[in-house]
Amino acid sequence: MDFGLKDKVAIVTGAGSQIGFGKAIALTLAKEGCDIVAADKDLEGAEKTAAEVKASGRKAIAVKVDIRNSDEVNEMVSTTLEEFGKIDILVNNAGTPGMVPPTSEEAWDINVNVNFKGTWYVTNAVIPHMRERKSGKIVNFSSGVARSGMGGLYAAAKEAVIGLTKAWSRELGPSGINVNAIAPGMGDTGFQVIVRATPEQKENFKKSVPMRRLTTPRDIANTVAFLVSDVSSDITGQTIQVDGGDFMV
């Protein structure tokens, strides 16, 4: 099915990790014809992703950004507009469970400020542009743990992303902007919970999922591509589980 994404410009945050969802998203969107802004706090990683996008035949830039810092976020958006002249798609993929003591200030700073406030900053920075053009697609990242609560502040922040997604979908629907979220299952990525799991814990987790496997970056990238296309233009305000049936809301 033609997703009609040729020559669209997409910002993907957290696109630096070479084994994460963000890179798969950037490459999948590029395959569908998008030009890519690969954003990450790790510039080197972002550059690697951008290089692969370029090798696949689309334009790409790498931008270093800490999404907790609104100045850096605004800078990223201006750089994008200077380079490409427009932003069609924003994928708020950057996120982290922050493996720090759960009651520390640091835990709040990482979990809430990256996962929630960061998404808010980046989205606020692109909304005026999308409103002006009366078109845009925003995909936020929630998580399966938002549904289960198994994950402290991280779960709370990811639940808050669902709230923001709903609010923005109402606010921006009349302006032709779709806002949705994806709640992935446990991915075999750099996500620390899984990195630190023993092989036995991993196996047990897989057994608990109806599909008997972990979520792959490709699973997530496919759903992002669907959601940012006009093929799914009647879908907004939703949080889409892509998790092998781990949670059925």
The residue among 87, 7, 4, 3 whose CA lies nearest residue 39 is: 87
Asked if residues 185 and 206 have their Cβ atoms less than 8 Å apart, the reply is: no
Rounded to the nearest whole angstrom, what is the least distance from the CB of residue 202 to other proteins in the complex? 16
Q: Residue 78, Cβ neighbours under 10 Å: how many?
A: 10
49/169 with CB nearer other proteins: 169
26/225 with CB nearer other proteins: 225
The whole-angstrom separation of Cα 27 and Cα 23 is 6
Q: Which residues of this protein are in contact with other proteins, per CB under 8 A?
A: 1, 3, 28, 31-32, 166, 169-170, 173-174, 185, 210-213, 215-216, 219, 222-223, 225-226, 231-238, 240-245, 248-249
CA contacts within 13 A on the Cβ side of 234: 0
35/219 with CB nearer other proteins: 219
Q: Residue 245, Cβ neighbours under 10 Å: how many?
A: 11
Rounded to the nearest whole angstrom, what is the least distance from the CB of residue 1 to other proteins in the complex? 6
Rounded to the nearest whole angstrom, what is the least distance from the CB of residue 215 to other proteins in the complex? 6
Rounded to the nearest whole angstrom, what is the least distance from the CB of residue 225 to other proteins in the complex? 6
Tokens 């708020």 — which residue? 92
Structural element, H or E, at residue 190: none
- Sheet strands (E) in the chain: 9-13, 35-40, 60-64, 89-92, 136-141, 177-184, 239-242
Asked if residues 166 and 181 have their Cβ atoms less than 8 Å apart, the reply is: no
121 is a catalytic site residue = no
Rounded to the nearest whole angstrom, what is the least distance from the CB of residue 34 to other proteins in the complex? 12
79/175 with CB nearer other proteins: 175
110/177 with CB nearer other proteins: 177
DSSP 133-166: HT-EEEEEE--HHHHH-TTHHHHHHHHHHHHHHH
Among residues 116, 120, 154, 168, which one is catalytic? 154
Catalytic residue numbers read: 154
